[in-house]
Amino acid sequence: MSFIIPLLVFIVIGLISSVRIIQEYERGVIYTLGRFTSTRGAGVQIIVPGVQRMLLVDMRIRTEAIPRCDF
């Protein structure tokens, strides 16, 4: 009976760490054991912790002012 509480805590922590939220302007790139697997769109996504890793990529256009160069 004493092993049930640590087991439940471990399961809850695993479920919490597997849920990722991706914003509309982002894409998630999924790596499984270090290799590219897929991309994910906006919304709530679930990954396998310890096996998969998600890298968020910002898809917004960034504009920067380029100073004029007078030669």
Per-residue pLDDT tens digits for 4-44: 999 999 899 988 999 999 999 999 999 999 999 999 999 99
Are 63 and 29 in contact by the 8 Å Cβ rule? The answer is no
Q: Where are the beta strands (DSSP E) in 4-58?
A: 19-22, 26-32, 35-40, 43-46, 52-58
Beta bridge partners of residue 35, listed in sequence order: 32
16 token code pair: 């919490």
pTM for the model stands at 0.73
